[in-house]
Amino acid sequence: MSVFYASDTDNVEADVRQALAEDIGSGDATAELLPDVPDTAYLLCKEVAVVCGRPWFDACHRSLDPDVAIAWHVAEGDRVRAGTLLATLSGRARALVTAERTSLNFMQTLSATATVTAAHVEAVAGTGARILDTRKTIPGLRAAQKYAVRVGGGSNHRMGLYDAVMLKENHIRAAGSIGGAVRNARERYPALPVIVEVETIEQLREALATGCDRILIDDFDTGMRREAVAIAAGRIPLEVSGGVDLSGLRAIAEDGVDCISIGALTKHVRAIDLSLKLGRKPG
């Protein structure tokens, strides 16, 4: 099943318009010095990575040269080795160099998110636990990064504050109880999923009684987490978040939780090392 949604097309176009306007401004002064002649270029990945961001890369180049030819040698989501030739391009020299930095910025960031996500997904393989992202994304690139999470094999949490109700300590306190907070949410937003964050086993039992859609067990130690899984007994999915790193991920998943949400998938990414060079790849 494709992870590129119909809505992503509009996001790609908007992202690229903004990014190119930011970079080019009134014009690429350096590219204007080049002869505007046909030329070729190649895109190289310099480290192990999961490829992600092709739609954004393509849109950057086609925005400046609608006739550019882009031949991809790898698919979106492919895991590649260092030194892999990802794509070759044929187009106008000025457009190729002007689009270079912006197209690489998208590819290196989204490939980073997909690569990190894939590592986390691999760590829980066979446990039944799903890896979720969070709202800790680069401003303006949330839809793009959440797409990259899907490319890496992860799943998306809520997109924003508008498509799910997440009841935390302050919301519950204001409503007087977990039951009251969930009732208010169901009455006001009957079509939205309701997620409840709990901090104790007693609160877990209260949340289970409401029939909410998911329960976030916050800062539970190993013993509490296992007790929570036993009490929930699969009635309502349990989510773990906070203080999760790759080294301890498998143990958490093996306790039987359904979801693990990880801000680092989008927040702590290190750009994948890519380069786009004019000419043909040597050798």
pLDDT confidence of residue 248:
92
Selecting among 79, 101, 250, 277, the annotated active-site residue is: 101
Selecting among 58, 100, 197, 206, the annotated active-site residue is: 197
Q: Which residues contact 43 (CB under 8 A, 6 or more apart)?
A: 57, 85, 86, 87, 88, 89, 107, 274, 275, 276
Evaluate if residue 219 carries a pLDDT over 90. no
Mean pLDDT, the chain, integer: 95
pLDDT tens for residues 127-173?
999 999 999 999 999 999 999 999 999 999 999 999 999 999 999 99
User: How many Cα atoms occupy the beta-carbon half-sphere of 256 within 13 Å?
Assistant: 15
Tell me the C-alpha to C-alpha distance, in Å, between residue 179 and each of 142, 189, 208. 32, 15, 10
Torsion of Cα atoms, 134 then 193 then 190 then 230, to 10°:
-140
The reply to whether 168 belongs to the active site is yes
Phi, psi (rounded to 5 degrees) for 239: -120, 140
Report yes or no on whether pTM surpasses 0.85. Answer: yes
Instruction: Give the whole-number percent of the chain exceeding pLDDT 70.
Output: 99
Q: How far is CA 141 from the centre of its chain?
A: 9
Q: Can you tell me whether residue 25 is helix, strand or coil?
A: coil
The reply to whether 136 belongs to the active site is yes
- DSSP E strands in 175-264: the ranges are 194-198, 214-218, 238-241, 259-261
Evaluate if residue 1 carries a pLDDT over 70. no
Instruction: Say which amino acid occupies 130.
Output: R
The reply to whether 218 belongs to the active site is yes
The reply to whether 267 belongs to the active site is no
The reply to whether 197 belongs to the active site is yes
pLDDT, mean of residues 67-87: 98
Confidence of residue 223 (pLDDT cuts 50, 70, 90): very high
Feature table: binding site: 101, 134-136, 158, 168, 197, 218, 241-243, 262-264
The CATH class for the domain spanning 6-121+269-278 reads alpha beta
Domain residue spans of the chain: 6-121+269-278, 127-267
**If phi over 0 gives left and psi between -120 and 50 gives alpha, with beta otherwise, what is residue 151?**
alpha
Distance from C-alpha of 123 to C-alpha of 153, rounded to nearest angstrom: 12
pLDDT tens for residues 19-59?
999 999 999 999 999 999 999 999 999 999 999 999 999 99
Selecting among 79, 136, 183, 226, the annotated active-site residue is: 136
pLDDT confidence of residue 218:
83
Feature table: binding site for substrate: 101, 134-136, 158, 168, 197, 218, 241-243, 262-264
Selecting among 28, 79, 122, 168, the annotated active-site residue is: 168
Tell which residue, 275, 250, 268, 241, has the closest CA to residue 113.
268
Distance from C-alpha of 155 to C-alpha of 59, rounded to nearest angstrom: 25
Judge whether 249 and 24 are in contact, CB under 8 Å: no
Distance from C-alpha of 96 to C-alpha of 117, rounded to nearest angstrom: 30
Selecting among 218, 227, 254, 273, the annotated active-site residue is: 218
Architecture of domain 127-267: Alpha-Beta Barrel (3.20)
